[in-house]
Amino acid sequence: MGQVPLSTYVLISLLVFAFALAIALMLTLIKLEEARSKAERLEGELHLLQQVLRTREQNIELQLRAREAQVRQDALQRSRAVISGKIAETFLPYLPWFPYNPQDARFIGSPIDFIVFDGLSAGDLKQIVIVEVKKRRNGALSERQEAVARAVREGRVVFVRLSLDDVLADRNPSHLA
């Protein structure tokens, strides 16, 4: 056999190099296609997650609005109950079963409802009565109302006379000093 010319070796080397380059290019294209497919899949998943998130946000917003409406309605009902209770308490002395003369009753409202100066309108003060009205017979007193009741039971009730002269002169009244 004869000798193979150098140009044949060069040509074969170039063909092998081109073939290797083609394989490398095909592998790169395959990797790029896989990456593109993965990116499209991730993009689809991202879009789906964004839709789920929007739906959840909308549900939370609806729940929040419903809860807010419920709280407002509850507050409105409580407010109505308090207001109607205060109105009823104001007119209570004029009801026929009220045990004292309505002219002797003074509405305070808080922490107790009335102070009754029993007999004062007739010129014969018999006693001073502190009245707290409850809707139910066994209605509990608030802490402040209990404190008032305790002070009365323990005799910690005083009569104080203030002078406007002392107040306007910015000095303590002499009987309090």
More confident position, 31 or 91: 31
Whether 149 contacts 129, CB under 8 Å: no
**Which phi and psi angles does 161 have, rounded to 5°?**
-115, 120
The proportion of the chain whose per-residue pLDDT surpasses 70, expressed as a percent, equals: 94
Please say if the pLDDT value at position 174 is more than 60: no
Please identify which residue in the block is written with the tokens 């808080």. Answer: 110
Q: State pTM to two decimals.
A: 0.52
SS3 141: coil
Residue 52: the pLDDT is: 94
Q: Among 17-21, 57-61, 80-84, 119-123, where is mean pLDDT lowest?
A: 80-84
172 Cβ neighbours under 8 A, 6+ residues apart: 166
Integer Cα distance of 147 and 161 in angstroms: 23
Buried b (16+ CB within 10 A) or exposed e, 31-60: eeeeeeeeeeeeeeeeeeeeeeeeeeeeee
Please say if the pLDDT value at position 89 is more than 80: no
Rounded to an integer, the average pLDDT of 66-92 is 86
Please say if the pLDDT value at position 37 is more than 70: yes
pLDDT (tens digit, 9 = 90+) per residue, 94-150? 888 889 999 999 999 889 999 999 999 999 999 999 999 887 788 899 999 999 999
Q: Among 4-18, 36-50, 155-169, where is mean pLDDT lowest?
A: 155-169
Please say if the pLDDT value at position 28 is more than 60: yes
Name the pLDDT band for 171 (thresholds 50, 70, 90).
low
Name the pLDDT band for 176 (thresholds 50, 70, 90).
low
Distances in whole angstroms, Cα of residue 154 to Cα of each of 132, 136, 149: 18, 26, 9
Rounded to an integer, the average pLDDT of 149-165 is 89
Whether 100 contacts 93, CB under 8 Å: yes
